[in-house]
Amino acid sequence: MEAHHKKDSDVRSVEENLSKDYVPKGKLGNLSMSKEIKESLKKKRDKTTKEIEKYKIEILKKHKFIQSIGIIPTGAAKKVEEEFGISESDSKRELIHILTIIPEKKFKDIATIRIDAINIARKINDRFWVHVMTPVDIWNLGLDSKFDIMEALSMSYPILDKGFLGAIRVSQIHKSLVLKKFEKYVSSYVVGGSVTRDETIKTSDIDVFIVIDDTDVKRMSRLELKEKLRGIIHSYIAEAEAIAGVKNKLSPQIYLMTDFWEAVKDAHPVMFTFIRDGIPLYDRGAFLPWKSLLRMGRIKPSPEAIDMFMSSGDKLKETVQKRIFDIAVLDLFWGISTPTQGLLMLYGQAPGNVYDTVKSFEETFVKKEKMVEQKYADIFEEISLKYFKGMEHGKIKPGDIDGKTLDKLTKDALDYIKRLKELREQIEKRIQEKSIEEIYKNLFGMLKNLLNKEGEKEILKEFEERLINEGKFPPKFLENLKFIIKVKNNIKKSHKSAKKSEDKTEGAKQRRDVDNARKMSSEITRELIEYTQKCEFQSIDKKRFKIIGKNTNADVFFLKDTFVVMSEKIQKISDNKLKNSDTNELQIQMQESKDKEMKINFKDLEVLQKIFGEFELIN
């Protein structure tokens, strides 16, 4: 049997099926076709494609329930013709075979549907040959070991598909890839699940079961063989899905024949279902006998197997109690603990252990900030300490928690989570308020010092007159300052009113406004720092003199003291002598004399002349 390995192989087969009768025969041989012939072929192929589409539309008008319509590939058509007894004369007409799948529940009407399909097809193109089948007809081919015919039909190129045709296509392609790689190890390749129950849709998972023959393994252990083949089998999944062009996900289950046989002998329920519903796409004589034995009632569980199955019922109470316990203790605890730690971190606290988290939540949000009611701290403490830590210390065990207690704890936990969402909004509002207050305080504090004014109105007025009107800052800075004031006032006002109905929209707007205010503040602050430094430099430059003599070159500052800066060494005149000083002392006196008129200290000037000799004093 020829396997389909290339992604475009099935598409190419359809195109060949649609155009084969148009290929010129005889003298042309293997010579390249002329442009005119290629154009003619394309036109006729397009015409046939439209005719097939017309068939689909017409048949669906009469029978909307049709599941799939596909074009059987040219290479597979011969096998189909032999199977269904198509005459030699019809076969020579190079028929275009159309597979039409109807639901099994419509089987009683199949004769009428087949007549309608044939009549519609003949009116459109007399070379159309329609095969109307149900999924069970396809499955019966597998049960009769007619795997080549089953594959031929399964590889039909879909024109319409509600899931069935895509499912069997991708299974057949995957089977072919697997068999090509290691056919001698594959005993059975079986499809099951929703596909064989006629419940599949376009996105259904496709369950396939692959039984590996490990009865003649010599060079490796059985487990090693299984794992090696499992890796290769799973590696073909993506390729098969891509070639088939479907959304269905293949889910292969791989069994060693020896393990499978043990499970069959014990009548494991999974194996019962697998054998009962499964349809072989390939079988070397193992699966079909099992299926026959099951139908005859010859596969029955051993007494040991019955004991094993019954023992699971004995553990039912213990299992239910364990599930309730896990939900109440683990799921509920982690469900409320993790978001609680997140909000504490949002507030600015580092996460701690369970005891620290319970304590921090109550002290921070209940007692200190008064943002949360006491009952929520009690809920958090009960689930965290009484149940979670109680479990760790062995004080709480499965069986101590019944369904009524679980219902109460679940209700409390859900109520707690709902309250945490509100708390997050409250915290974010606080953060926004603090953020805009800090932005305002830093910026207007800088303006206050620079402009020597108090109050918003006075600062804005002075900023406009001294800095905007004189062209030292752009006009937009004044508008930005007003925007920052507006944002601060709006947030303060909204937080006092706390309108919950506007929380989501208003909260988002406030976050945007604060972010914009921060950007504006950064820009203005950067320009103010540069402007201040420039002013300070100019102020320093006015207070600086240079003394230039034969052997002297130094800067002199006549401040409270007279400072001499020479070769990065700072000194000052004290008791008619130069004594060492430092940058800090110089900066302090510069700041103190910032707005004072500079006066030359002639007494200190005479001291400098005695030390350095004759020099020029330059400003």
Q: What is the pLDDT of residue 488?
A: 84
Q: Per-residue pLDDT for 9 more than 50?
A: no
Q: Per-residue pLDDT for 18 more than 80?
A: no
pLDDT in tens, 197-215: 888 888 888 999 999 888 8
Looking at the chain, how many residues does it have? 619
Looking at residues 131-153, what average pLDDT do you find?
A: 94
Q: Of 515, 509, 501, whose CA–CA distance to 436 is shortest?
A: 515
**Which range, 70-84, 217-231, 255-269, is most confident?**
70-84
The set of residues, in sequence order, having a beta carbon less than 8 Å from that of 63 and lying 6+ positions away, is 102, 113, 116
493 within 8 A of 434, measured Cβ to Cβ:
no
- Comma-separated ranges of CATH 3.30.460.10 domains in the chain: 164-314
Q: Per-residue pLDDT for 499 more than 90?
A: no
20 falls in which pLDDT band (50, 70, 90)?
very low
Q: Per-residue pLDDT for 4 more than 70?
A: no
How far apart are alpha carbons 103 and 87 in whole angstroms? Answer: 28
116 within 8 A of 62, measured Cβ to Cβ:
yes
The set of residues, in sequence order, having a beta carbon less than 8 Å from that of 344 and lying 6+ positions away, is 351, 357, 360, 361, 364
188 within 8 A of 284, measured Cβ to Cβ:
yes
Q: What is the pLDDT of residue 183?
A: 85
Q: How far is CA 596 from CA 382, 564, 599, in A?
A: 69, 20, 9
Q: Per-residue pLDDT for 163 more than 60?
A: yes
Is beta strand 249-256 parallel, antiparallel or unpaired with respect to 96-101? unpaired
More confident residue, 68 or 616: 68
DSSP state, residue 34: P
Q: Per-residue pLDDT for 391 more than 60?
A: yes
For the chain, the distance separating the N- and C-terminal CA atoms, rounded to the nearest angstrom, is: 104
Is beta strand 128-133 parallel, antiparallel or unpaired with respect to 96-101? parallel
Least confident of 219-223, 353-357, 434-438: 219-223
The set of residues, in sequence order, having a beta carbon less than 8 Å from that of 331 and lying 6+ positions away, is none
Q: How far is CA 333 from CA 81, 349, 373, in A?
A: 67, 20, 20
How far apart are alpha carbons 260 and 215 in whole angstroms? Answer: 12
Least confident of 4-18, 155-169, 455-469: 4-18
More confident residue, 174 or 466: 174
Beta bridge partners of 132: 100
pLDDT in tens, 503-523: 567 777 887 888 888 889 888
Count Cβ atoms below 10 Å from residue 103 Cβ, excluding itself.
14
Q: Per-residue pLDDT for 283 more than 80?
A: yes
More confident residue, 492 or 384: 384
Q: Of 363, 368, 369, whose CA–CA distance to 381 is shortest?
A: 363
Looking at residues 463-469, what average pLDDT do you find?
A: 87
How far apart are alpha carbons 163 and 202 in whole angstroms? Answer: 4
How far apart are alpha carbons 619 and 617 in whole angstroms? Answer: 7
Does this model's pTM top 0.85? My answer is no
DSSP state, residue 500: G
More confident residue, 234 or 321: 234
**Which range, 415-419, 482-486, 560-564, is most confident?**
415-419
196 within 8 A of 278, measured Cβ to Cβ:
yes
How far apart are alpha carbons 358 and 14 in whole angstroms? Answer: 69
Q: Assign residue 498 a region (left: φ > 0; alpha: ψ between -120 and 50; beta: otherwise).
A: left
**Which range, 60-69, 194-203, 266-275, is most confident?**
60-69
pLDDT exceeding 90 applies to what percent of the chain? 27
Q: In whole numbers, what is the pLDDT of the chain averaged over residues?
A: 82
How far apart are alpha carbons 238 and 216 in whole angstroms? Answer: 30
Looking at residues 85-110, what average pLDDT do you find?
A: 91
Q: Of 493, 479, 480, 491, whose CA–CA distance to 437 is shortest?
A: 491
Looking at residues 311-324, what average pLDDT do you find?
A: 68
Please tell me whether residue 131 adopts helix, strand or coil conformation. strand
Which CATH number applies to 164-314: 3.40.190.10, 3.30.460.10, 3.90.1150.10, 3.40.50.460? 3.30.460.10
Q: What is the pLDDT of residue 316?
A: 66
Q: What is the pLDDT of residue 503?
A: 54
